[in-house]
């Protein structure tokens, strides 16, 4: 079960109630992050949503634009602290906010604000699967698991943005995109 919350009080109450993840978590307190770590509650930062709203801020009324810009900065600070504390992180882009098809940009945005590229990739594979309770079936390449594979050109550990241009996709063992 996931809870969408930018604010601290609602997030803390959701964690105390037993949710599996907090989506966004833009303004979480140290206490809430510690509780999330202790309970194993995932933070799904949806940095792409916060980034996209900020990109569009010039089109908003001044008060809303200022809030969007402030949220971008606070979201980064909370995310960096969550990483440092060891709060589990799972990938999620909240694709209804940004245009569809750019969700892989989330990887680059997470790396930009402090996550190692390998950890960002795990957040979208193993950790995302674990957060959804389906880690025994998907999320890693292992015998007996569903074969979902995305391939890109180059080394994503050196250029995480390569994830935005897949050249091969296999879903449930069936090739759906190939060069």
CATH of the domain at 70: 3.20.20.140
Residue 16 lies in a domain: yes
Region 107-117: mean pLDDT is 97
Identify the band that residue 85 occupies on the pLDDT scale cut at 50, 70 and 90: very high
Residue 128 lies in a domain: yes
Across-strand partners of 2?
A: 21
The answer to whether 24 and 94 are in contact (CB under 8 A) is yes
Kind of pairing between the strands at 21-24 and 2-5: parallel
Residue 31 lies in a domain: yes
Considering its fold, how many domains does the chain have in total? 1
Q: Which domain holds residue 129?
A: 2-139
For residue 97, pLDDT over 80 is answered with yes
């Amino acid at each position: 079960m996931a809870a969408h919350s930018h604010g601290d009080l609602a997030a803390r109450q959701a964690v105390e109630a037993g949710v599996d993840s907090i989506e966004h978590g833009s303004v979480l307190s140290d206490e809430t992050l510690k509780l999330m770590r202790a309970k194993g509650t995932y933070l799904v930062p949806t940095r792409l949503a916060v980034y996209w709203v900020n990109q569009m801020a010039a089109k908003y009324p001044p008060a809303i634009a200022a809030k969007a810009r402030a949220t971008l900065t606070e979201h980064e600070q909370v995310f960096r602290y969550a990483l440092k504390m060891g709060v589990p992180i799972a990938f999620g882009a909240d694709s209804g906010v940004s245009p569809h098809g750019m969700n892989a940009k989330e990887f680059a945005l997470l790396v930009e604000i402090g996550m190692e590229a390998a950890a960002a990739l795990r957040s979208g594979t193993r950790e995302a699967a674990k957060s959804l309770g389906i880690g025994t079936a998907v999320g890693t390449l292992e015998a007996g698991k569903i074969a979902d594979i995305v391939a890109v050109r180059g080394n994503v550990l050196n250029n995480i943005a390569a994830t935005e241009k897949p050249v091969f996709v296999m879903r449930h063992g069936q090739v759906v995109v190939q060069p």
